[in-house]
Structure 1
Amino acid sequence: MKIAIAQLNPIIGDIKNNAKQIIEVAHQASQDGVQLLLTAELSLCGYPPKDLLFRHDFITMMAEELEAIALSIPKNITILVGLATENLYAMEKGEKPLHNSVALVQEGEIKQIFHKQLLPNYDVFDEKRYFEIGEKPNYFELNNIKIGVTICEDLWNDEFFWGKKNYKINPLQSINKQGVELILNLSASPYVLRKQQLRETMLKYLVNKHKIPIIYANQIGGNDELIFDGNSFAVNKQSQVVARAKGYQTDLIYLEYSPETKDILTTDIINPIPSEEEEIYQALTLGVKDYARKCGFSKAVLGLSGGIDSALVAKIAVDALGKENVLGILMPSPYSSEHSIIDALHLAKNLGIQTHKIPIAPMMDDFNTSLETIFDDKTFGIAQENLQSRIRGTTLMAIANKFGHLLLSTGNKSEMAVGYCTLYGDMNGGLAVIADIPKTKVFALCRWLNHDQEIIPNNIIIKPPSAELKPGQKDEDSLPPYPILDDILERYLNFHQSEEEIINSGYDLETVKKVLRLVVKAEFKRKQAPPVLKITDRAFGTGWKMPIASRW
């Protein structure tokens, strides 16, 4: 039996066009002799649809388009489509109104509907807000082969693999008791660093344990802060990955299931897993590309300071949107060093992007004159430093507003964590591209980009980081060295270590206290930041739920 995985990039809420995309790929697969086609979780509406699920017309349109798919696909192909369906017993039993479902479409009809059994409610996931759990094992028969159906999280509850049980039930065990010969998993699994290795390790373990091959179909694309990397794959009964789709792009791959051996045959479609730097870079590029495309932007603007953060964001923007669609704005102040301007222009030349220079000294003078009476002195302090950043932020917003460009924020995670950024200044923008990338990783990415040729000017990489908001300023005047800062932050943010645990790991007491105090103090800034492209388990954004008014 020939099986295909359609690794698609839906636009959330664009139900008609998503359906059209599914129909087109079904016709293509049918022509190539495919008998069973898999799409991803909620492929009809895109994942995650969030509170669009509260709209009755949204749910109704999905049902209507599912019927259209059934009538439009060839009769010789069976297809699995992800969608939200009404819970018919919601009122009677006091349950949630919807199910996260998969429809089995065959011969012009909707033959079966399967419901997701494990609903994640952690990090960026909020499925219990909308969905009721499915209670029955999901399976169907095709060509006398009994096939089990799981939806994303349904596979992620083996207590022996994880060392604990996160849910009361294990759908895989229930399906296994039905005597299935093949297991399918339709996923919308967001990208985080090195997650593909985890997925494959887990599925290999499950296959080895249950002795049933598994096919995993994943969504790709950027949806707001979430990035879906694709990397759909199949594992045979020997716990070997026998096929892997492309990462970070749409794909259609074909597999062959043998009823005689009850296994998936080996293929030569095993796209490699990239290095850590490459996968981060590909994910961020996809995130920018899709955020712009799906929000209706074709061009981007950003401030070019001559620093390493804006250099990396500029390069990502060029690869996401094309060099002709990226505008760099230089905004030197009296405290900007000469090499910063030279470095910014050097970068722009390497990338082939247009630049415009707007000195901000006259605007600074005007603001200082206007504020002189209320400030009541001429002392140069934090307010005046931040005023420079806010002038730049306002200038960039004006340009974005005038020309309809997407303003890309260039701050990194280290700065965002400790508040070393200016609200309504360098935090301005429609998308925070690298705000989940620590400063040390920014340097690593830029060095990786330069492995064949100089893209990021070397002087940008080797010079000490500085906001250049006052004479001779260096980041280390206010913060610990970035390798120390980033390790403390990782321990605190990602591993939830206490102040005492971090100090006991070898760090100075006062340094740790200062860093943690800054993290708490900066919460109000993060609440007002643009969407942050997520590449770690603990990104600032949807999955970061901390109070602002707190004394912890």
Structure 2
Amino acid sequence: MSKDTTTTNLTAENPAGENTIIPKAVTFALAQSHFLVGDITANADKMRQLAIEARGQGADVIIFPELALLGYPPQDLLLRPSLSGRVKSALSALSDIEDIVMIVGYPHVDHHGTFNSAAILHNGHQKGFYHKQFLPNYGVFDERRYFDKGRNQVLFDYKGITIGLLICEDLWEKTPISDLKQQGADLIVCLNASPFETDKQDTRKAMLAKRSSEHKLPIVYVNAVGGQDDLVFDGGSMVTQADGTIAHEASRFLDQLMLTTLDVETLKFDSQAKAPLSLSRESEMYQALVVGLRDYVNHSGFTGVIIGLSGGIDSALTLCIAVDALGSDKVYAVMMPYEYTSKISLEDAQAQARRLNVSYTVCPIFDAVEGIRHTLAPLFNQSPADTTEENIQARARGVILMALSNKFGHLVLTTGNKSELAVGYSTLYGDMAGGFDVLKDVYKSQVYNLASYRNRLEDTPVIPERVITRPPSAELRPDQKDQDSLPDYEVLDGILSLYIDEDMGYQDIIDKGFDAAMVGKIIKMVDNSEYKRLQAPIGTKISHKAFGRERRYPLVNKWSVEG
């Protein structure tokens, strides 16, 4: 199907017939901000405020992220029958903003279908719109479920330059920017809702540099920021010169209104006075976890969070992230010892709580566990003890935490990591009981790295050193160690990352140097634990492939380990 090109001219009419003076520069404002899913009226109000602020700072054009009016990803909200009316009303409410062009991401609904679109608003009128052409349908994206494919190229002339519009995935494909270049674009504006994963910003920079330099086009790239369910949008909006170099880069994980000025004659942007701090891998991972938890708790309406503090490294790191996300006054820690809980664990849990200044309570579970065992004794009929009795301890703790949540309105944070969740080293309705798993997408080896990173941020460590150095244990039986049931975490995580994140099969993983028997055992454990993961709470995605919306396997299947 051939593609049409729509061109809009935003130059004001001159009834006096005088010669129009073309300005020498155009200033763009990149509105890197958090727009909450479904809150259309509040999102429009935020756009209004940002547009007025940008205009006051001399901006000619303000650009908002992809689908900012509705928030991203809106999922089945796009199927609500009242969507079209709400969107039209919100766009109409922006019609009194003058003297600045607004490029607004929104869902466009008409008799042709539903589109992921960008509206061009100027002096009370919608001058045009662009429909996204390439709809991602992989990983966390399922846009083909909701949107129809756009067909037209859209350019608009403004103050002497021709601007082409793209939306997110369009820029990752070769043809849309090439078509705009052929149609005479001087500049590309791209609206994005690109979620975080480790090293993603470097990938974006490489892609933008390639697209700019290939077509000799400067690019204004605006990204969303903030947490939405299990996703975090990390900002990092950018402006590239036509040769691919970065002229401006916004901060990561923070709201920012970034202004940049284009010289109309040279088509070059001014240079940023001071670039944002570069983040290490641990730093960006930690910030993503903080933002993901902060926005989930605050936007869900919880008054605080409650954590079962064990004295181990997983709950210690979870506690740190919770305090950094919400403040110590909104974090409540409960230590629930049993007869196998070591004195060291009690001491370390108390030390962590005191160091971070959180509410801390010790609630022994001996009576609860013994009561359940007594109730079950006639039913078990003198069967030998096994992991069932161990799991009663975890489930007793889950009952206590959920009761406290029910009574006081705090969200229970679970503390399981990706390694444990992968192989099923967790108790359903026990330590998996809760509403949000902060470390769900963090392998155990990464937990250690993040704990050490957090300790380096302050003169006095927030996590006691021996919590990091002593062998991990669930403490559900005497002298229990994780490595009694699992290989060393470096080996385990190596196998898991290849199988889960890289989608490698049995033989391919063995070819990487891992023991065949161990690979087969681990893969079976992963596959057999799918039913647990389906019932696990959500947690922030930070990896290339997290458990949840982008990794979906049937619970009942006969796929062999060697497949």
Asked whether the two chains share a fold, i.e. TM above 0.5, the reply is yes
- Which whole-Å CA distance do the structure 2 matches of 1:241 and 1:395 have between them? 53
Residue aligning to 2:10? none
Summarize deviations over 1:202-223 as a string: whole Å, max 9, x none.
1001111000000100000100
- Which whole-Å CA distance do the structure 2 matches of 1:176 and 1:540 have between them? 40
Please tell me whether residue 101 in structure 1 is matched to residue 101 in structure 2. no
Contact 2:140 2:550 in 1 (8 A): yes
Residue aligning to 1:222? 227
- Which whole-Å CA distance do the structure 2 matches of 1:334 and 1:267 have between them? 60
Please tell me whether residue 39 in structure 1 is matched to residue 46 in structure 2. no
Residue aligning to 1:62? 87
Residue aligning to 2:183? 178
Residue aligning to 1:409? 414
Contact 1:236 1:265 in 2 (8 A): no
Summarize deviations over 1:372-416 as a string: whole Å, max 9, x none.
011111632111111111111111011011100011111000000
Summarize deviations over 1:335-365 as a string: whole Å, max 9, x none.
1111011110011111111111110011111
Q: Which runs of 4+ in 1 moved over 4 A?
A: none
Deviation at 1:266, TM superposition (A): 1.1
- Which whole-Å CA distance do the structure 2 matches of 1:253 and 1:508 have between them? 52
- Which whole-Å CA distance do the structure 2 matches of 1:173 and 1:457 have between them? 56
Aligned match for 2:107, one of 79, 84, 87: 84
Please tell me whether residue 4 in structure 1 is matched to residue 25 in structure 2. no
- Which whole-Å CA distance do the structure 2 matches of 1:310 and 1:300 have between them? 13
Contact 1:242 1:270 in 2 (8 A): no
Counterpart AA for 1:37: I
- Which whole-Å CA distance do the structure 2 matches of 1:266 and 1:298 have between them? 43
Residue aligning to 1:521? 528
Kindly tell me: are residues 436 and 174 of structure 1, through their superposed partners in 2, closer, same or farther at Cα, counting changes over 3 Å?
Answer: same
Deviation at 1:505, TM superposition (A): 1.7
- Aligned CA-pair RMSD: 0.9
- Which whole-Å CA distance do the structure 1 matches of 2:180 and 2:436 have between them? 42
Matches within 5 A, 1:101-140: 101-140=117-156
- Which whole-Å CA distance do the structure 1 matches of 2:438 and 2:498 have between them? 23
TM score, norm. by length of structure 1: 0.95
Contact 2:27 2:58 in 1 (8 A): yes
**Per the alignment, in what secondary structure is the counterpart of residue 68 of structure 2?**
coil
Contact 2:217 2:243 in 1 (8 A): no
Stretch moving more, 504-513 or 524-533: 504-513
- Which whole-Å CA distance do the structure 2 matches of 1:301 and 1:449 have between them? 20
- Which whole-Å CA distance do the structure 1 matches of 2:128 and 2:393 have between them? 61
**Per the alignment, in what secondary structure is the counterpart of residue 44 of structure 1?**
coil
* Contiguous gaps of at least 5 residues in structure 1: 90-96, 159-169
Please tell me whether residue 421 in structure 1 is matched to residue 430 in structure 2. no
Summarize deviations over 1:96-148 as a string: whole Å, max 9, x none.
x3000010000111110110000000011010011001101121111121001
Matches within 5 A, 1:258-297: 258-297=263-302
Residue aligning to 1:163? none
- Which whole-Å CA distance do the structure 2 matches of 1:415 and 1:433 have between them? 13
- Which whole-Å CA distance do the structure 2 matches of 1:298 and 1:111 have between them? 44
Contact 1:70 1:109 in 2 (8 A): yes
Residue aligning to 1:248? 253
Count matched residues: 532
Counterpart AA for 1:46: G
Please tell me whether residue 491 in structure 1 is matched to residue 491 in structure 2. no
Counterpart AA for 1:138: V
Residue aligning to 2:487? 480
Calculate percent identity across the aligned residue pairs.
Answer: 41
- Which whole-Å CA distance do the structure 1 matches of 2:110 and 2:84 have between them? 11
Please tell me whether residue 50 in structure 1 is matched to residue 57 in structure 2. no
Contact 1:87 1:132 in 2 (8 A): no
Residue aligning to 2:20? none
Please tell me whether residue 508 in structure 1 is matched to residue 515 in structure 2. yes
Kindly tell me: are residues 269 and 243 of structure 1, through their superposed partners in 2, closer, same or farther at Cα, counting changes over 3 Å?
Answer: farther
Summarize deviations over 1:429-465 as a string: whole Å, max 9, x none.
1111111000000000111111143111101001100
**Per the alignment, in what secondary structure is the counterpart of residue 13 of structure 1?**
coil
TM score, norm. by length of structure 2: 0.93
Counterpart AA for 2:129: I
Contact 1:120 1:153 in 2 (8 A): yes
